[in-house]
Structures are given as C-alpha cells and as structure tokens.
A and B are shown apart, each in its own frame.
Chain A
C-alpha cells in the first residue's frame, strides 16, 4: 500500500471502505480494521465472558465475513450497523450453545475467587463482579442492548436495527437495566 493510496482513502466513510474492499482494496480493509477492531474486540470480550482468545477468534472471523460478504452490503445501510449485526449474530450463535454458557459461568466463578485478594482494585473489581454476575444472568437481548449502548455508544436507532426490535423496546430495556444495576449496587455495597 503506497502512502498516496493511504492518504486518499483516509477520508472515506465506512460505507465507502466496504465498497472498496469489495473491489479488492487492501488499504481499505486495513483502515476499516483500524477503525473498528478495538470496539468490536471489546464487544466480543465482554459478551464472551472476558475470554480474550475467543474474542480474538471472533474478531478475526468477523473480518473474514466482511471480506467474503462485502458484495452483500447495501449502500443504504450504515456500516457500523452492518458490522454489529454480524457480531451480534455470531455471539447469539455462541450463546445458544448451552455447554458454552455453563463454561462461561464456571469461568466467572473462577475469576470471582481469584479477585478476592486484590485490595488495590477493590472498588472496580467490586463493580465488575456485580456487573459480570448480572451480565451472565441477563437475557440475550438485554445483554446486547446494555453493551451496544454502554460500550459501543450506538444510538437507540442503530441498536434497534442491529437486534431487530423497536426503538421503544430498546429504551424501555435500557431503563429497566439501569434500575437493575442500581438495585444490585445498592444491595451489594462495597466492602
């Protein structure tokens, strides 16, 4: 990739980059990766029980899907919505594996025991423990709504498009989840 090519595409929108990927532009592919890899990795990391290796595998698989399915991307779509829809569907498939779900629970319990003596990070760990536990107990849609809003900071409209539910439902779910977090923090005050 030459510097000139790179300079030219830096100003491209995400949607233009996907069209360029379809035409075999590697610079566009690299740039899209730079823009989304960290966000999507965090998304996978949290949704897959803080499993770093699995999150990396999922991230890689997602971009291979982008590579192979760039021609199916519609220019009327938002690129971020398209990417998060793919990521969300990948996570949903993973969750449907009940064995995996049990493994996630065991991982959480193991982490909970390990973190008991970390006094210097007590506060953040306390919060993380509560939220990790809460996340593991949430329904699929609730977990996705929470993460897409809090972590990825997507708009209500985008979240609705990704999960394929009405915008009003997204907002009411978020409100309900906030109340639930507040309740958890209140009933589990820091030591």
Chain B
C-alpha cells in the first residue's frame, strides 16, 4: 500500500483523488496526514531545487583530459581539418610551384644557348666578293670596304695584309671570323652526287666555314 499512496501523494491533492483512491488512502492514513506528506514532498523537492552550477574550469579541465586521452593538441589546433582538405590545397600549390620552377629553368637554358651561340648570324649576304687564299669575305652593300691584295713576292707582307683583311672584314660586318681550315675547304669543295657546287651552295659552305 505505501507504494500506491506515494504515487498519489506525488501526483495530486487529496481533494483531487477519485473516490476509490480516497477510500484506499483513508484505510492507511488520515486526510490531514496525506496533506502533511504531500507538503513534505513539495518541501523536499524545493530543498533539492537549489540552482547551483559547476564552474567553467571543470569543463576546460575535462577538455584537456579528453585531448590527452586522444593525443590532440587542443590549444594549438583548435579546429580539426581533414587530411583531404589539406591535400586539396597543397597539391595544386605544389604543382604550380614545380611548373614555375621548370619554366624558369627552361628560360635560363634557352638564354644560355643564345649567349653561347654567337656563331649564329642572321644577316643576309648579298654576294661573295673574294676568296682570299684561306679567308673568305663577302660584300655588304651598305658597307664600304677595302680589301688589300696580297703580294706573291713578299710572304711576310702577304701575311700582314691577310691579318689586316681579317680585322677589316670583322669590323665591317661586326661578326666573328676565323681562318678557314683545310678541312672546311675540302668539305666545301667536294662535289656532292658527282656534281659541282653552284654559287649558292658554295656560299653556304663558305659562310659556315668562315664564321
């Protein structure tokens, strides 16, 4: 019986009870006792209803404990970022960096070729002026030139004239020039396919060898 009375006490006043409930209650306790118990119940509830809350430091301590348990650096990295997000940012950056590096290296290589490849001269040659012993020279229409003829009787003078000619040609055309080597001449003068070289082909070979 106490079990049933307890539920009734918690739920309603004596006046609110049904006739059957009232009859069963009155078999054990009086109406005044019932009301006293109900008052005690409410007093007991209000006694425990005190509004007290734990301090915020309890939760922060627990967050630290959680981080230690799961090895997470909470203070440094507060927000968890998935690996795929990091990869999504880093991989394009990595490729962009590699492409830029590759582009710069290629540009440097090209520049290097240009610097060293001084033998490439983009200059139109109009006509061959002379073939002077082992030196070739060509005529540039806009440039006035003076070429000394070597003397057959004076070898030393002839060599000097040859050097002078070389320098003059070099100055006139502002190009590199060197002494024609025997193999250049041989290669140039040997006919291909049994045919002798025409002037253009000869010019091409001479200009290559001369440069």
Interface residues of A (CB under 8 A from B): 1-2, 24, 26, 29-30, 33, 37-38, 41-42, 45-46, 52, 55-56, 59-60, 63-64, 67-68, 124, 127-128, 131, 146-147, 150-151, 168, 171-172, 174-179, 181-182, 185-186
A67 and B52: CB pair below 8 A? no
CA–CA, A168 and B6, complex, Å: 11
B2 and A150: CB pair below 8 A? no
A selection of 21 A-B contacts at a CB cut-off of 8 Å is A26-B63, A26-B67, A37-B54, A42-B48, A55-B52, A60-B61, A63-B62, A127-B47, A150-B45, A150-B48, A171-B2, A171-B3, A171-B6, A175-B5, A175-B6, A177-B44, A178-B44, A181-B43, A185-B36, A185-B39, A185-B43
Distance of B6 from chain A, by nearest CB (Å)? 5
Q: How many A-B residue pairs have CB under 8 A?
A: 104
A172 and B62: CB pair below 8 A? no
Interface centre among A68, A179, A186 (most CB of B within 10 A): A179
Grouping DSSP codes into helix (H, G, I), strand (E, B) and loop, the A interface class, with mixed when no group exceeds half, is helix
A38 and B43: CB pair below 8 A? no
Distance of A63 from chain B, by nearest CB (Å)? 5
Chain B, residue nearest A168 (CB): B3
B211 lies within 8 A of chain A by Cβ? no
B9 lies within 8 A of chain A by Cβ? yes
B144 lies within 8 A of chain A by Cβ? no
A131 and B62: CB pair below 8 A? no
